[in-house]
Amino acid sequence: MKITNIEAIKRLETFSTAFPGINSTSELVELTRCLLEAMFYFEYSFLYLNDSTVNRFNLHYSKGFNFKKTVAVESISRHHLSGLVHLSKEMIYSPDRSMENILQSGFENMPQEVQSQLYLPVMNGEIIVGVFGIADSEPDKLGDEETSIVRFICNLLGAKHASLLYQNTLKSVHEEVLTLSKLPAENPNPVLRVSRDRVLLYANKASEKLLKYHKFKVGDKVNHVFVKGISKVLQSQKAIEHEISDGKSIYLFLFTKAEGTDYINLFGRDITRRKSLENELKKIIGK
């Protein structure tokens, strides 16, 4: 280790207290990189974090590798580390290349000069969110103390990364709610969102008369008039149209479920005038 134990503790405290100001994975990775390089002599190191949008580990940081070797190491992570570290959630330490069965260990694509290797799961509680790897040409590079410190850093890193993922999810939901909240100004007709268990999640201002007539509000279960259309969408997985009245006006609602979602959107348009003309026409034809 480059620094004394007291200096290491101070740096770890600084590392953890800086977390509240971190708003992105790139900032978190850069802070981790600076800490590791200030504390340890490692010829090679690399960090993979889970990318929830594509459901795989992506390389976020590497040291000591040229472009060709970086690509090779990224391939190792996708194929070997996922099986060895991701599934087991256990640390893998190879202190001396000459003592290992390289082909069986899955590290055969590492640079030939590498002797000692350490792979640590980046955890958030019981969930693995990444893998951190260290490699060096010196055998038995890491002692128990250094390994414990690196594991501690990985745990802090994992907790913060998971927090960022959660914040991004909340941000996406918030942006979607903001988009929905703008619909009343753009759409004078009722717009509703209902969960698959029939609970009304959202209703724009134009829906007020409709909801008052049918006697339910956001947070309540919709009545049988709406359940009929919702059931058809869930069964067919296709958009359907269904007429619903608020006692005065008649609306033609489009019931649609977006792929990958767990709710149904209802978009209504006023067809009262059209229905009135249809009824008049029927009367004329009837005569």
pLDDT tens-digit readout, 159-201: 888 888 777 766 765 566 556 555 555 678 899 999 989 999 9
Residue 143 or residue 263, greater confidence: 263
Q: What pLDDT shows up at residue 253?
A: 93
Contact between 194 and 226 under an 8 Å Cβ cutoff? The reply is yes
Assigned fold of 5-165: Beta-Lactamase (3.30.450)
Q: What pLDDT shows up at residue 198?
A: 93
Q: What pLDDT shows up at residue 51?
A: 72
Q: Span 79-98, mean pLDDT? A: 71
Predicted confidence band of residue 103 (pLDDT cuts 50, 70, 90): very low
Residue 103 or residue 116, greater confidence: 116
Q: Using a CB cutoff of 8 Å and minimum separation of 24, what contacts does 75-83 make?
A: 75/109, 76/106, 76/107, 76/109, 76/110, 77/46, 77/48, 77/131, 77/133, 79/106, 80/106, 80/107, 81/48, 81/57, 81/106, 81/119, 81/131, 81/133, 82/57
pLDDT over threshold 60, residue 15 = yes
Q: Span 224-239, mean pLDDT? A: 91
Per-residue model confidence as pLDDT tens digits over 25-46 = 889 999 998 888 888 888 888 8
CATH 3.30.450.20 domain extents, the chain: 181-277
Looking at domain 181-277, its CATH superfamily turns out to be: PAS domain (3.30.450.20)
Q: Span 252-266, mean pLDDT? A: 87
| Pairing, β 240-245 against β 250-256 | antiparallel
Predicted confidence band of residue 104 (pLDDT cuts 50, 70, 90): very low
Q: What pLDDT shows up at residue 70?
A: 64
Share of the chain above pLDDT 90, in %: 20
Q: What is the pTM of this model?
A: 0.56
Per-residue model confidence as pLDDT tens digits over 117-165 = 888 889 888 888 888 888 888 888 878 888 888 888 998 898 888 888 7
pLDDT over threshold 60, residue 105 = no
Q: What is the 3-state secondary structure (H, E, C) of the chain?
A: CCCCHHHHHHHHHHHHHCHHHCCCHHHHHHHHHHHHHHHCCCCEEEEEEEECCCCEEEEEEEECCCHHHHHHHHHHHHHHHHHHHHCCCCCEEECCHHHCCHHHHCCCCCCCCCCEEEEEEEEECCEEEEEEEEEECCCCCCCHHHHHHHHHHHHHHHHHHHHHHHHHHHHHHHHHHHHHHCHHHHCCCCEEEEECCCEEEEECHHHHHHHHHHCCCCCCECCHHHHHHHHHHHHHCCCEEEEEECCCCEEEEEEECCCCCCEEEEEEEECHHHHHHHHHHHHHHHC
CATH 3.30.450.40 domain extents, the chain: 5-165
pLDDT over threshold 60, residue 204 = yes
Contact between 223 and 240 under an 8 Å Cβ cutoff? The reply is no
Q: Span 270-287, mean pLDDT? A: 75
Q: If you average pLDDT over each of 38-42, 234-238, 240-244, 280-284, which comes out highest?
A: 240-244
pLDDT over threshold 50, residue 239 = yes
pLDDT averaged over the chain?
80
Q: Span 2-25, mean pLDDT? A: 84
Give burial (CB, 10 Å; 0-12/13-18/19+) of 203. buried
The single residue listed with the structure tokens 């990224």 is 74
Q: What pLDDT shows up at residue 164?
A: 84
As a whole number of angstroms, the distance between CA 196 and CA 257 comes to 10
| Helix-helix angle 25-39:144-181, to 10 degrees | 170
